[in-house]
Amino acid sequence: MTELTRERVAAAYASLVTGDREQILQYWSPDVRFQMPGNHQYSGWFVGLDDYLAKMGKLMAATGGRISSETLNVLVDQEAGVSIDVYRLDGYREHAKEGATSPYERLQVEGVHMLRWEDGRIVEGRSALFADGVTQGNLWWSPVGADGERYEY
């Protein structure tokens, strides 16, 4: 039986970056469901690993690669098969100028991922944001910039 540890949580996220499906499948169930908070275009449940990876790719593209993520804490409950990691994001929309502070262009939030593990793999993930992060995420993900113009077609 695979032990649920902080190291295993970190390894699960690290596997995503490799893009190597075999590695990813060591940590993520092909049937994983993952829920993004809010009501924007990427909110709701992503269904299955393919959908999850495709959507995460689009999210990354929407930032033009200009997003950084930091893990602040990782808590695990081996018995319940649950981990919660606390993270901080700082990202720009692709159209935003460096140093922008409008919530329509820059996202600076902290939140949690709650992951459910079965047989050593993640079967469910849910995200939540502290403070007014969900509203700020809705604005950031909207197609509208701080000037009211659309940056998506």
- Provide the binding-site residues for a copy of itself, judged by CB under 8 A: 35, 37-47, 51, 73-77, 80, 82-84, 86, 101-103, 111-112, 114, 126-135, 138-139, 142-144, 148-150, 152-153
User: Cβ of residue 68: shortest distance to a copy of itself, in angstroms?
Assistant: 20
Residue closer to a copy of itself, measured from CB, 14 or 80: 80
Contact 140, 105 (CB under 8 A): yes
Q: Where are the beta strands (DSSP E) in 11-138?
A: 28-36, 44-47, 67-77, 82-92, 106-118, 121-129
User: Cβ of residue 136: shortest distance to a copy of itself, in angstroms?
Assistant: 9
Residue closer to a copy of itself, measured from CB, 20 or 47: 47
Residue closer to a copy of itself, measured from CB, 18 or 144: 144
* 40: Cα within 13 Å, side-chain hemisphere: 19
Contact 121, 97 (CB under 8 A): no
